[in-house]
Structure 1
């Protein structure tokens, strides 16, 4: 029988998810710059003697070397570029937002090893924004969801009617119709969001943080509902993490955050649960 010898390759990546494998290994879901989404085995990473286990933390930006395998590639080397998750593991609102971003990135890359540079850069930028904490985590999430839907071709119409294309602003909004709708095209059941809510969504989609940061809480909540509804309309199944997002950016840390996304709580410290 011929032996399989895979080749080595290297890439930048964002760590999306961790899963236990056997006694000491993990399957790591990575979103890479040049190779898209990859599921790879990190051997021995759960042992306390692991040389790079602490670098494979959720939401982190890493430089990773992999060896091609028959079914799953194998991680052979990892260098931490910026381990964003360490900065908000105990911050429940930011942690839940990061979980929703990671799940969205995974869901929007259904084919493994298919590059999506725009989505990768959006995901990396969103994790960096959460780590810096310059903007409310709920705004970072909604900006990411709007822009990632644009990459996927699902962006809601905000400046014109989703049905006829008539320039807005329009007061109606219908998720099944594709976004803002004019009076002539407004279907039954369409909502009537406040004009400031639509303005906020436009600002988030455009990266206008001055407008977004100055928005009021009531419009943020309404915009979040519309963005989430629009995203989940297009997905085959709902995001598991989205209902768990704490949009109160003043929330206190809570242990519940550690149970949200696989083994992330177990990865907090090198010595606990032999996780790193």
Structure 2
């Protein structure tokens, strides 16, 4: 079995057998990878500390015909709030589930991986609800399935004020291109979504929040994700239970 090294974030972990886990990693070099971590649920296992949700790791894995196997791991970063605060954990799980559902296996996304590390760090210090919404708006941009908010999706005209929105069309529409089923799309909501999508996590600046706009931006995002999946994300039940 060929061995390989990769930097990774844990996006999923399911108990498997008596002492094992089936893991989902987002790796810098290989994208989404699913691998078995044998014996990691035993207290003395060298893998026990690393096979936890959101852990940032350096991994050694062995390639397998059906599934890869975790051989060694070194913990690079532990995110305390994501492992101890239920609210932060719930919103972090929303981001993790989004990645598990929308990333193809084995496709490297190094820029997306770097963005995810910034997002995980932001969960430690920022409002988790706002962080999760901004995170998914940003990460959608790497998938090719993002909606468009700056130019009319039909004619390409730059949008500067109130407009219309049609999920089926892929985003914002100008007055001249308005189609059946398009809904009003206020300019303040459009600009708020863009502020989430374009927010720079490296800058120590607050995100200006309006509860009304946040709720509208969340609903638009959740409706779109549900339309792509054909069902709501399971992590929403976790959030709603808080």
TM-score normalized by structure 1? 0.79
**2-structure distance, mates of 1:18, 1:44:** 13
Q: SS state of the match for residue 53, structure 2?
A: coil
**Structure 2 residue 17 is matched with structure 1 residue 8:** no
For residue 82 of structure 1, what is the aligned residue in structure 2? Answer: 77
Uncovered stretches (5+) of structure 2, i.e. residues with no partner: none
Runs of 4+ in 1 over 4 A off after TM superposition: 208-212
Higher relative contact order (CA 8 A, sep 6+): 1
**Structure 2 residue 98 is matched with structure 1 residue 107:** no
**2-structure distance, mates of 1:55, 1:16:** 12
**2-structure distance, mates of 1:17, 1:238:** 18
**2-structure distance, mates of 1:232, 1:212:** 29
Higher fraction of strand:
2
> Structure 1 residues 245 and 196 mapped into 2: Cα distance closer, same or farther (>3 Å)?
farther
> Structure 1 residues 79 and 107 mapped into 2: Cα distance closer, same or farther (>3 Å)?
same
TM-score normalized by structure 2? 0.89
Give, in angstroms, the shift of residue 237 of structure 1: 4.5
For residues 212-242 of structure 1, the C-alpha deviation after alignment (integer angstroms, 9 at most, x for no partner) is 7112111111111112223333345442224
CA contact (8 A) 1:24 1:44 kept: yes
Q: 2:122 aligns with which of 112, 117, 129?
A: 129
**2-structure distance, mates of 1:122, 1:105:** 12
> Structure 1 residues 138 and 191 mapped into 2: Cα distance closer, same or farther (>3 Å)?
farther
CA contact (8 A) 2:50 2:75 kept: yes
Uncovered stretches (5+) of structure 1, i.e. residues with no partner: 1-5, 247-255, 258-276
Q: SS state of the match for residue 146, structure 1?
A: helix
Provide the aligned length of Structure 1 versus Structure 2. Answer: 239
For residue 93 of structure 1, what is the aligned residue in structure 2? Answer: 87
For residue 215 of structure 1, what is the aligned residue in structure 2? Answer: 209
For residue 45 of structure 2, what is the aligned residue in structure 1? Answer: 50
**Structure 2 residue 159 is matched with structure 1 residue 168:** yes
The CA RMSD measured in Å over matched residues stands at 2.2
**2-structure distance, mates of 1:160, 1:74:** 46
